[in-house]
Amino acid sequence: MCGELMTKDPRISVAAKNFIDRFGGDAPAEAKKRVEELRHAGNVESATTWMQIYEEVKVMVERSGKTAH
């Protein structure tokens, strides 16, 4: 299923879209930073959610053809 959106939670898709609207092609890198910050802080549950957002952001950006500035 490489390259397919894998989440069934519509909130993840909404969050990913909003993140892309805010950060454009930089969104995957920004989302990945959130994951690492939360892991470092020991917040596993939130890091897991952000990992889902990151994965969806990555696919959405790839599909849109946007690149990091």
Q: Is 21 helix (H, G, I), strand (E, B) or coil?
A: helix
What's the pTM value of the predicted model, to 2 decimals?
Answer: 0.82
Where exactly are the structural domains of the chain? 26-64
The residue ranges of DSSP E strands in 1-69, in sequence order, are none
- pLDDT score of 69 more than 90: no
Instruction: Please write the tens of the pLDDT for every residue from 9-56.
Output: 899 999 999 999 999 999 999 999 999 999 999 999 999 999 999 999
Q: Residue 1: its pLDDT value, please?
A: 39
Q: Using alpha carbons, list the distances in angstroms from residue 39 to 15, 35, 49, 57, 65.
A: 19, 6, 11, 19, 29
Q: By the 8 A CB rule, do 6 and 61 touch? A: no
Phi then psi for residue 25, to 5 deg, are -65, -15
Kindly state the average pLDDT of the residues 50-68. 88
Query: Is 90 exceeded by the pLDDT of residue 68?
Result: no
